[in-house]
Structure 1
Amino acid sequence: MKKKVWTIGLLLSAMILTSTFAPVASKAAQEPVVLLEGQPIVFSQQPMKIDGILMASVRDLAKIAGMDVTWNATDQMAIVSQNEYELKLPMNSDVAYVNGKANTIYGSTQMVNGAMYVPLRFFMESTNYVVRWDTATNSVNITKQTDSLPVVGTYDHLLTLLSQNQSIGNVRVISQGKTVVTETSTEALSPISVDSSSAKKESTTAVVPEYSSTNVQVQGVDESDVVKTDGSYIYTVNRQRIVVTQAYPADQMKVLSILDFPKNQGAQFQPSEIYVDDKHLIVIGNSLNYDTSVPYNGPTGLTEKRLIMPMKSQGNAKVMVYDLTDRSNLKLVKEAELEGNYVSSRKIGSSLYFISNKFVNYNRYQKLKKHDDDALTDLAPAYRDSVSGDAFTKIPLDQVYYLPKAIEPNYVLIGSINLNELQQTMNVTSYLGSGQNVYASEENLTIAVTNYEQQSFQPETIIYQFGLKAGKASFTNTGKVPGRLLNQFSMDEHNGHFRIATTTGEMGRTDEGTSMNHVFILDANLKVTGKIENIAPGERIYAARFMGDRAYMVTFRNTDPLFVMDLKDPAAPKLLGALKIPGYSDYLHPYDENHVIGFGKDTIEVDLKNSQEPQSIAYYQGMKMALFDITDVNHPKEKFKELIGDRGTDSELLHNHRALLFSKEKNLLSFPVNVMKFDASSNTKSVSSYGTFAFQGAYVYRLDLDKGFQLRGSITHLSEDDLKKAGQYVQAGDKQVRRVLYIGDTLYTISNDLIKANDLATLQEKNTVLIP
Structure 2
Amino acid sequence: MKKARFLVVLLMVFVFLTLPELGKATDEEVTVTQEHSLPTVETAENLRNLLKESQSSRTLLGQGRVYAVDVTLGSVNKSAQTVDEAAPSSANFDMTTGNSGHSTTNLQVAGVDEADIIKNDGQYIYQVNQQELIVTQAYPANQMHILSRIGFKEGEFTPRELYVDDHYLVLIGNTYYPETSPSYAPKVQPQVKGASQVQIYPPVWTPFTTKAIVYDLADKSNLQKLREVELDGDYVSSRKIGSNLYLIANKYLDTYRIMEQGEEPPLPSYRDTAGQGDFSAIGYQDIRYFPQSIEANYLLIAALDLDQKDKEMQVAAYLGSGQAVYASASNLYVAVTQYQQVHQSDPAQPSPESAAEAQPASNSSSKLIPGSLTTTTALYKFGLAQGGTTYKAKGEVPGTILNQFALDEDKGCLRIATTTGQIWRTDEFTSKNNVYVLDENLQLTGRIEDIAPGEKIYSVRFMGDRGYLVTFKKVDPFFVLDLKDPTAPTILGALKIPGYSDYLHPYDENHIIGFGKDTIEVSQNSGPGSLTVEAGDSTAFYQGLKLAVFDVTDVAHPVEMFKTTIGDRGTDSELLHNHKALLFDKERGILSFPVTLMEVANSSTANSRNGFPDYGQFTYQGAYVYHFDLVKGFTLRGRITHLKDEDILKSGQVYLNSSKAIERIIYIQDTLYTISPEMIKANDLRSLQEKNSLILK
Q: Same fold (TM over 0.5)?
A: yes
- 1:40-119 residue pairs with structure 2 within 5 A? none
Is residue 207 of structure 2 the alignment partner of residue 282 of structure 1?
no
Aligned length, in residue pairs: 588
Q: Is the 8 A contact 1:451 1:462 kept in 2?
A: yes
Which residue in the other structure is 2:53 paired with?
A: 164
* SS of residue paired to 2:568: coil
* SS of residue paired to 2:336: strand
Q: Is the 8 A contact 1:152 1:398 kept in 2?
A: yes
1:626, distance to aligned residue in structure 2 (A): 0.3
**Two-structure CA RMSD over aligned residues (Å):** 2.5
- 1:212-227 residue pairs with structure 2 within 5 A? 212-227=103-118
Render the CA deviation track for 1:694-753: whole Å, top value 9, x for unaligned.
Answer: 110000001111111110000000012212222221234201000000010110000001
Is residue 217 of structure 2 the alignment partner of residue 324 of structure 1?
yes
Which residue in the other structure is 1:153 paired with?
A: 42
* SS of residue paired to 2:631: coil
Is residue 98 of structure 2 the alignment partner of residue 199 of structure 1?
yes
Question: Which residue, out of 589, 592, 595, partners 1:670?
Answer: 592
1:268, distance to aligned residue in structure 2 (A): 0.4
Q: Give the Cα–Cα distance (whole angstroms) in 2 for the partners of residues 746 and 666 of structure 1.
A: 13
Q: Give the Cα–Cα distance (whole angstroms) in 1 for the partners of residues 74 and 477 of structure 2.
A: 27
Is residue 129 of structure 2 the alignment partner of residue 238 of structure 1?
yes
Q: Is the 8 A contact 2:426 2:454 kept in 1?
A: yes
Alpha-carbon distance change, 681 to 529 in structure 1, aligned in 2, over 3 angstroms = closer
Q: Give the Cα–Cα distance (whole angstroms) in 1 for the partners of residues 488 and 261 of structure 2.
A: 55
Q: Give the Cα–Cα distance (whole angstroms) in 1 for the partners of residues 473 and 458 of structure 2.
A: 10
Q: Is the 8 A contact 1:196 1:212 kept in 2?
A: no
Q: Give the Cα–Cα distance (whole angstroms) in 1 for the partners of residues 306 and 34 of structure 2.
A: 35
Q: Give the Cα–Cα distance (whole angstroms) in 1 for the partners of residues 628 and 320 of structure 2.
A: 45
Is residue 550 of structure 2 the alignment partner of residue 628 of structure 1?
yes
Q: Is the 8 A contact 2:377 2:401 kept in 1?
A: yes
1:609, distance to aligned residue in structure 2 (A): 3.4
Which residue in the other structure is 2:17 paired with?
A: none
Q: Give the Cα–Cα distance (whole angstroms) in 1 for the partners of residues 244 and 414 of structure 2.
A: 23
Q: Is the 8 A contact 1:718 1:732 kept in 2?
A: no
Q: Is the 8 A contact 1:541 1:554 kept in 2?
A: yes
1:151, distance to aligned residue in structure 2 (A): 1.1
Question: Which residue, out of 651, 668, 673, partners 1:726?
Answer: 651
Q: Which segments of 5 or more consecutive residues in structure 1 lack a partner in the other structure?
A: 1-143, 173-185, 201-208, 298-308, 370-374
Q: Give the Cα–Cα distance (whole angstroms) in 1 for the partners of residues 98 and 519 of structure 2.
A: 38
1:393, distance to aligned residue in structure 2 (A): 0.2
Question: Which residue, out of 228, 231, 234, partners 1:335?
Answer: 228
- 1:295-444 residue pairs with structure 2 within 5 A? 312-366=205-259, 376=264, 379-444=266-331
Q: Which segments of 5 or more consecutive residues in structure 2 lack a partner in the other structure?
A: 1-32, 56-69, 187-201, 344-372, 527-534
1:282, distance to aligned residue in structure 2 (A): 0.4
Q: Which amino acid aligns with 2:322?
A: G
Q: Give the Cα–Cα distance (whole angstroms) in 2 for the partners of residues 756 and 379 of structure 1.
A: 48
Question: Which residue, out of 658, 661, 671, partners 2:583?
Answer: 661
Q: Which amino acid aligns with 1:608?
A: Q
1:534, distance to aligned residue in structure 2 (A): 1.1
Which residue in the other structure is 1:750 paired with?
A: 675
Question: Which residue, out of 487, 490, 493, partners 1:577?
Answer: 493
Q: Is the 8 A contact 1:438 1:446 kept in 2?
A: yes
Render the CA deviation track for 1:421-448: whole Å, top value 9, x for unaligned.
Answer: 1211111001011211111011111011
Question: Which residue, out of 393, 400, 404, partners 1:488?
Answer: 404
1:163, distance to aligned residue in structure 2 (A): 1.9
- 1:458-469 residue pairs with structure 2 within 5 A? 458-469=374-385
1:754, distance to aligned residue in structure 2 (A): 0.6
Q: Give the Cα–Cα distance (whole angstroms) in 1 for the partners of residues 185 and 207 of structure 2.
A: 17
Alpha-carbon distance change, 360 to 557 in structure 1, aligned in 2, over 3 angstroms = same
* SS of residue paired to 2:73: coil
Alpha-carbon distance change, 490 to 537 in structure 1, aligned in 2, over 3 angstroms = same
Is residue 476 of structure 2 the alignment partner of residue 554 of structure 1?
no
1:171, distance to aligned residue in structure 2 (A): 8.9
1:404, distance to aligned residue in structure 2 (A): 2.4
Which residue in the other structure is 2:573 paired with?
A: 651
When the two structures are superposed, what TM-score results if normalisation uses the length of structure 1? 0.73
Q: Give the Cα–Cα distance (whole angstroms) in 2 for the partners of residues 643 and 230 of structure 1.
A: 33
Is residue 618 of structure 2 the alignment partner of residue 618 of structure 1?
no
1:294, distance to aligned residue in structure 2 (A): 4.2
When the two structures are superposed, what TM-score results if normalisation uses the length of structure 2? 0.81
1:380, distance to aligned residue in structure 2 (A): 1.1
Q: Which amino acid aligns with 1:257?
A: S
Q: Give the Cα–Cα distance (whole angstroms) in 2 for the partners of residues 683 and 549 of structure 1.
A: 42
Is residue 437 of structure 2 the alignment partner of residue 521 of structure 1?
yes
Alpha-carbon distance change, 434 to 406 in structure 1, aligned in 2, over 3 angstroms = farther
Render the CA deviation track for 1:25-44: whole Å, top value 9, x for unaligned.
Answer: xxxxxxxxxxxxxxxxxxxx
Render the CA deviation track for 1:316-369: whole Å, top value 9, x for unaligned.
Answer: 000000111111111111000000000100000100001110012243344788
Q: Give the Cα–Cα distance (whole angstroms) in 2 for the partners of residues 187 and 162 of structure 1.
A: 25
- Deviates further, 285-294 or 627-636: 285-294
Alpha-carbon distance change, 600 to 489 in structure 1, aligned in 2, over 3 angstroms = same
Q: Which amino acid aligns with 1:406?
A: S
Q: Is the 8 A contact 2:671 2:683 kept in 1?
A: yes
Q: Which amino acid aligns with 1:234?
A: I
Q: Please say which structure displays the higher CA radius of gyration.
A: 1
Q: Give the Cα–Cα distance (whole angstroms) in 1 for the partners of residues 98 and 462 of structure 2.
A: 24
Q: Give the Cα–Cα distance (whole angstroms) in 2 for the partners of residues 319 and 495 of structure 1.
A: 33
Alpha-carbon distance change, 704 to 367 in structure 1, aligned in 2, over 3 angstroms = closer
**More relative contact order in 1 or in 2 (CA 8 Å, sep 6+)?**
2
Q: Which amino acid aligns with 1:719?
A: K
Which residue in the other structure is 1:563 paired with?
A: 479
1:458, distance to aligned residue in structure 2 (A): 1.6
1:537, distance to aligned residue in structure 2 (A): 1.1
Q: Give the Cα–Cα distance (whole angstroms) in 2 for the partners of residues 687 and 224 of structure 1.
A: 41
Q: Give the Cα–Cα distance (whole angstroms) in 2 for the partners of residues 221 and 539 of structure 1.
A: 32
Q: Give the Cα–Cα distance (whole angstroms) in 1 for the partners of residues 612 and 525 of structure 2.
A: 17
* SS of residue paired to 2:274: helix
Q: Which amino acid aligns with 1:483?
A: G
Which residue in the other structure is 1:599 paired with?
A: 515
* SS of residue paired to 2:173: strand
* SS of residue paired to 1:388: coil
Q: Which amino acid aligns with 1:742?
A: Y
Render the CA deviation track for 1:441-496: whole Å, top value 9, x for unaligned.
Answer: 11111011222223353212111100001221110011111111112111000011
* SS of residue paired to 2:52: helix
Q: Which amino acid aligns with 1:709?
A: F
Render the CA deviation track for 1:650-696: whole Å, top value 9, x for unaligned.
Answer: 00000000000001111010000000111126796454301111110
- Deviates further, 509-518 or 344-353: 509-518
